[in-house]
Amino acid sequence: MRVGVVGVGHVGLPTAAVLAHIGHEVVAMDSDTSKIAALKDGVMPFFEEGMAELVATGIDAGRLSFTDSAEVTVSGAVAAFLCVGTPPKSSGEANLLAVERAAEEIVKVATGDLVLVEKSTVPAGTAQQLTVALRRHRTKHRFWVVSNPEFLQEGRAIEDSLRPHRVLVGSGSPEALAIMEEIYRPIIEQGAQWIATDVATAELAKHASNAFLSMKISFSNALARLCELSGADVIEVVRAMGSDPRIGTEFLNAGIGYGGYCFPKDLTAFERLADRFGYDFGLLREVKKINDEAVEAVFKKIEDVMWNLQEKRIALLGLSFKPGTDDTRLSPALRLAEMLLEHGAQVVGYDPKANANAQREVPGLEVADDVYGALQEARCAVICTEWPEFAELDLGKAADAMAFPIVIDGRNLMDPDAMDEAGFTYIPTGRPPRGVGPHPD
């Protein structure tokens, strides 16, 4: 089938590449002409494991192409996936202007009946409002607005797209549902659960999913604070909890907090949506509060062990909000960097993929070419992102590089016994510290 994809960001590009991979003819569009030109040359706009290879395969097979033309995108297409941004307004509500404009542009140039697919994260009621707005254009072709939320994790977006747990589509039209089911048939036949609902349910399910996952992370981070006060080990507590199949261990890793573009934005938008419907969803505000406190707790540990932060060299290992991506948007590491810089520290960071993005966001941040360069003469190092290469550090070399062998582990990545044996003062999250003595100065 021929389909169009509008927007080639963190949702649109994986969507386009995977739809082409499963056999569809896909034309992906973006208004950013430089981004389209780069993609035609095989240059990715962001790092995502396996993305470049899958895009190249689609182009070589003649099933994936890129354009800045709406007419080319929808010519002969049965569906157009709307994957444009929904940034927060000053109120915290999702800004749907880009979704409306993209849909209007597509409907005006459609060459036949068309399914408009909400892939962007939008609040419940968007499809209904969008349908009313589009009908004013009096197009000669029929169109259906359906909700098909994405459940991708950055760093594994290709895997999540190729082998999702479920495919959720909301529509009141049996005809539109049939088209969507046919588009996803190769994925459904591989075992993905097909869930067809009404539109509002599908729209709400996306926000509810992200809010619930955010809540699990914040619960674990609050639990870590309690473990630190009581002397318990949060990893063992979570292991005991997770042995109950009703709970599980996923998204219960205590740390420096969640970041990225989706969770913070969607959590606030969900709360504003509840407000609009007259329900005070206070739990969501507490989730955000606990997440903010996770970064503050790491800062306090640095302050406690360093005493005075002015002119102290602090190394941050990991700058992206999670491993497997170069995305630094709302990264806890960068928030920590800003807090340290405000208190007069000299902050150096290293990330396998995100150095350039991090330095653009935090100009006062120094970046190193490798992890040992970041550790050189550092009085304290903080593990902010659980990149695998940090777990494989040569601890002897790392200790020799540092002015003081002090590591604060914001992700519980390291083996406490190994850190102790290597002579580190090791301060994990929600676990008993090792080798803690008076501050070094």
Question: Where in the sequence numbering do the catalytic residues fall?
Answer: 262
For CA atoms 287, 85, 158, 413, the dihedral sign is negative
- φ, ψ of residue 346 to 5 degrees: the values are -95, 115
The two tokens of residue 389 are 């290469």
Distance CA 103, CA 401 (A): 55
Residues with Cβ < 8 Å from 377, sequence gap 6 or more? 313, 401, 402, 403
Residues with Cβ < 8 Å from 16, sequence gap 6 or more? 5, 8, 26, 28, 58, 64, 81
CA distances from 107 to 70, 71, 408 (A): 9, 10, 53
The two tokens of residue 411 are 């992700």
3-class SS shares of the chain: helix, strand, coil, % to 5: 45, 15, 40
**How far is Cα of residue 64 from the mean position of the Cα atoms in its chain?**
25
